[in-house]
Amino acid sequence: MHCSSETADWSSLFACICSEAPFEGSFAAVKDHLIVIPLDKPVRIARQIGGERQEQILLPGSVTITPGGADFAMQTSSAGNSYDTLHLYIRDESIREISRDMFGPQAATDLPPSVGIMDDILRAIAFEIRKMLMEPAPADRIYAESLSQTIAAHLARTLVSGRSLKADEPRKLTPQQCKRAIEYIEEYLGESLTLAGIAKAAGVSTGRLNNEFRRSMAIAPYQYVMNARVRRANALLSTSDLSLAEIALRCGFSNQQHMTRIVRRATGRTPGAIRRAR
């Protein structure tokens, strides 16, 4: 295993990049759904799952899905033997929650086993997660939660239900729900915010928050949080004599270096430059 999210405190997603050798074996079911993407070379697989045999050459960037709750047997091979893959585990509860939000309490939640599908959205999100694994940053937790919820929503919309939402169906948070979410973010900005905590404060599910906050506010929840931290840092840098390290902690950054990187990216100036200009 090259790297994983095991120590990253990502509550709704586990991800890892693995270097694998060809193998053959049988595997017991797990609860959550597994997405595997070959990264560097084609991989030939033969899989027996749900009474069906699936055989295919997987191209780099293609997506293979093993649903939670399914036993399976698989054999792989690849030219040059070893190959790299990205593994993502998406929680079953996320799929079920989002399916209910999208299609009602009686919505089907069975995810079909899929092999070698070319899905631009899943691939783009997966490669963003790959980048986070290879270049970890302290603020990745809420971003990882947002991405896992987006994957769950995409799977529910395209694979679980077999149908798309109509153009006139997308929902937004009410003004009151937005207000409660924003008030919660501002109150706990200096702490380790999570999508689940923000959603609870707004009175909606995590899946609804992730999808509908963006529609309502024209910005994703994790982006709103980072912008709020930058705004507060600017205010404290301009009006207080607190140390840069203390300001970083009060704004929810993990340390002074993290604050410097985010503030400079957002404003084009370092915290020190902002303070000197007051």
Q: Give the 3-state DSSP-derived string for 155-175, with helices as H, strands as E and coil as C.
A: HHHHHHCCCCCCCCCCCCCCH
Question: Does 167 score more than 50 pLDDT?
Answer: no
Mean pLDDT in residue range 81-98: 89
The verdict on 150 and 214 lying in the same domain is no
What is the reported pLDDT for 263?
Answer: 93
What is the reported pLDDT for 168?
Answer: 42
Q: Which two tokens stand for residue 34?
A: 């597994």
Which residues lie across from 75 on neighbouring strands?
A: 24, 46
The verdict on 185 and 149 lying in the same domain is no
Question: Does 103 score more than 80 pLDDT?
Answer: no
Question: Does 218 score more than 90 pLDDT?
Answer: no
What is the reported pLDDT for 170?
Answer: 56
Mean pLDDT in residue range 229-258: 92
In which band, very low, low, confident or very high, does the pLDDT at 231 lie, cut at 50, 70 and 90? Answer: very high
Task: Quote the radius of gyration of the chain (alpha carbons, Å).
Answer: 21
The verdict on 134 and 22 lying in the same domain is yes
**Nearest Cα to Cα of residue 225 among 270, 179, 186:** 186
The verdict on 232 and 196 lying in the same domain is no
Residue 267 exposed, middle or buried by CB count within 10 Å (0-12, 13-18, 19+): middle
Point out the least confidently predicted range of 13-17, 61-65, 135-139, 243-247: 135-139
The verdict on 211 and 229 lying in the same domain is no
Range of the domain at 97: 3-160
The span from the CA of 267 to the CA of 278, in Å, is 15
H or E element in which residue 113 lies:
none
Point out the least confidently predicted range of 19-33, 40-54, 153-167, 211-225: 153-167
More confident residue, 169 or 145: 145
The verdict on 154 and 248 lying in the same domain is no
| Helix, strand, coil % in the chain, rounded to nearest 5 | 45, 20, 35
The verdict on 182 and 78 lying in the same domain is no
What is the reported pLDDT for 166?
Answer: 41
Would 165 be classed as within a structural domain? no
**Would you say 216 and 173 are in contact if contact means Cβ atoms under 8 Å apart?**
yes
Centre a 10 Å sphere on the Cβ of residue 56 and count the other Cβ atoms it contains: 16
Would 270 be classed as within a structural domain? yes
The span from the CA of 97 to the CA of 55, in Å, is 32
What is the reported pLDDT for 164?
Answer: 41
Question: Does 9 score more than 80 pLDDT?
Answer: no
Question: Does 230 score more than 90 pLDDT?
Answer: yes
State the average pLDDT for the chain. Answer: 87
The verdict on 107 and 53 lying in the same domain is yes
Domain count for the chain, please give it.
3
In the chain, the percentage of residues whose pLDDT exceeds 70 is: 93
Length of the chain: 278
Q: Which two tokens stand for residue 202?
A: 């707004």
The verdict on 251 and 212 lying in the same domain is no
The span from the CA of 216 to the CA of 242, in Å, is 35
Could you read off the pLDDT of 115-151 as tens digits, one per residue? 999 989 999 999 999 998 888 876 678 888 889 989 9
Mean pLDDT in residue range 246-260: 91
What is the reported pLDDT for 276?
Answer: 87
What is the reported pLDDT for 107?
Answer: 66
Would 167 be classed as within a structural domain? no
Question: Does 169 score more than 60 pLDDT?
Answer: no
